[in-house]
Amino acid sequence: MTGDTPNDHPETGGELRVEIEPFGPEPEQVERLTRELLEHQEVRGLLGGASYRLLSVDLHPPADKGEAPELPEAVGATFYDYTNNRAIFVRGPLDDPARATVREAAAQPLPNREEFQAAVELVARDDELGPALRDGALLPYRPMPPLIEVELPHGRVERTLAVGLLPAERGRHPGHQIVGANMITGSVERYDGNAPATARAVEATCGAPPDAGQATTSKGVAGQAWVSVFQGGTRLWRFLAVRPSASSGTWGSGVELRYVDYRDRRVLYQAHLPVLNVLYDGNACGPYRDWQYEEGMLDASGTGVAPGFLLCPSPAKTILDTGSDVGTFLGVAVYLQGQEAVLVSEMQAGWYRYVSEWRLHADGTIRPRFGFDATQSSCVCVRHHHHAYWRLDFDIETPSGNRVREYNDPPIVAGTHWHTKAYEAMRLRAAKRRWRVENTASGRGYTIVPGGNDGTASGDAYAKGDLWFLRYHPTEIDDAPIAGTEIQIDKYRSPVSEPIAGQDVVVWYGAHFTHDVTGPPVDHMVGPSLVPHDW
What is the extent of the structural domain holding 131? 113-194
Both 374 and 333 in one domain: the answer is: yes
The answer to whether residue 439 is domain-embedded is: yes
- Nearest 10 degrees: Cα torsion 375, 380, 383, 389: -50
The answer to whether residue 213 is domain-embedded is: no
Cα 496–Cα 498–Cα 502 angle in degrees, nearest 5: 165
For the beta carbon of residue 303, count every other beta carbon within 10 angstroms: 15
Query: What does the DSSP assignment read for 182-223?
Result: ETTT--EE--GGGS-TT----S--BSBSP------PPTT---
Query: What does the DSSP assignment read for 226-291?
Result: EEEEEETTEEEEEEEEE-GGG-SSTT--SSEEEEEEETTEEEEEEEEEEEEEEEEGGGSS--EE--
Query: Could you write out the three-class secondary structure of 426-455?
Result: EECCCCCCEEEEEECCCCCEEEEECCCCCC
Question: Residue 158: CB partners within 8 Å, gap ≥ 6?
Answer: 85, 150, 152, 182, 183, 184, 185
* Total residues belonging to the chain: 535
Type of residue numbered 218: S
Alpha-carbon gap, residue 9 to 14, rounded angstroms: 5
Both 87 and 126 in one domain: the answer is: no
Both 394 and 437 in one domain: the answer is: yes
Domain termination residue (choose one: 105, 128, 158): 105
Domain termination residue (choose one: 194, 216, 247): 194
The answer to whether residue 7 is domain-embedded is: no
| Residues of the chain with confidence (pLDDT) below 50 | 1-11
Handedness of CA 96, 97, 102, 108 (dihedral sign): positive
Provide the whole-model pTM: 0.95
CATH code for the domain in which residue 86 is found: 3.10.450.40
Number of domains the chain is built from: 3
Alpha-carbon gap, residue 240 to 249, rounded angstroms: 17
Instruction: State pLDDT tens for residues 451-469.
Output: 999 999 999 999 999 999 9
Residues 19-32: b if buried by 16+ CB within 10 A, e if exposed: bbebbebebeebee
Query: Looking at residue 94, what is its pLDDT?
Result: 78
Type of residue numbered 43: V
Query: Looking at residue 46, what is its pLDDT?
Result: 94
Cα 241–Cα 245–Cα 248 angle in degrees, nearest 5: 70
For the beta carbon of residue 55, count every other beta carbon within 10 angstroms: 20
Domain termination residue (choose one: 105, 136, 154): 105
Instruction: State pLDDT tens for residues 109-148.
Output: 999 999 999 999 999 999 999 999 999 999 999 999 999 9
Residue 348: closest CA among 252, 221, 280, 256: 252
Instruction: Tell me the CB-side half-sphere exposure of residue 41, using CA atoms within 13 A.
Output: 2
Both 417 and 472 in one domain: the answer is: yes
Alpha-carbon gap, residue 363 to 339, rounded angstroms: 8
The answer to whether residue 330 is domain-embedded is: yes
Contact (Cβ atoms closer than 8 angstroms) between residue 345 and residue 366 = no
Both 481 and 348 in one domain: the answer is: yes
Query: Looking at residue 8, what is its pLDDT?
Result: 39
Both 137 and 67 in one domain: the answer is: no
Element (H, E) at 32: helix 27-38
The answer to whether residue 317 is domain-embedded is: yes
Query: Looking at residue 65, what is its pLDDT?
Result: 82
**Helix, strand, coil tally for the chain in percent (to 5):** 10, 40, 45
Residue 502: closest CA among 406, 438, 426: 438
Both 243 and 148 in one domain: the answer is: no
Q: Where are the alpha helices (DSSP H) in 63-176?
A: 113-124, 129-134
Query: Looking at residue 84, what is its pLDDT?
Result: 95
Query: Looking at residue 467, what is its pLDDT?
Result: 98
The answer to whether residue 407 is domain-embedded is: yes
The answer to whether residue 374 is domain-embedded is: yes
Both 365 and 443 in one domain: the answer is: yes
The answer to whether residue 238 is domain-embedded is: yes
Region of residue 138 (left: phi > 0; alpha: psi -120 to 50; beta: else): beta
Question: Residue 423: CB partners within 8 Å, gap ≥ 6?
Answer: 497, 498, 499, 500
379 three-state secondary structure: helix
Contact (Cβ atoms closer than 8 angstroms) between residue 303 and residue 290 = no
| End-to-end Cα, the chain, rounded Å | 28
Element (H, E) at 88: strand 86-93
Q: Which residues pair with 355 in a beta bridge?
A: 346, 371
Both 95 and 118 in one domain: the answer is: no
Both 149 and 101 in one domain: the answer is: no
Both 414 and 309 in one domain: the answer is: yes
Both 271 and 397 in one domain: the answer is: yes
Query: Looking at residue 12, what is its pLDDT?
Result: 52
Cα 175–Cα 180–Cα 184 angle in degrees, nearest 5: 150
CATH code for the domain in which residue 380 is found: 2.70.98.20
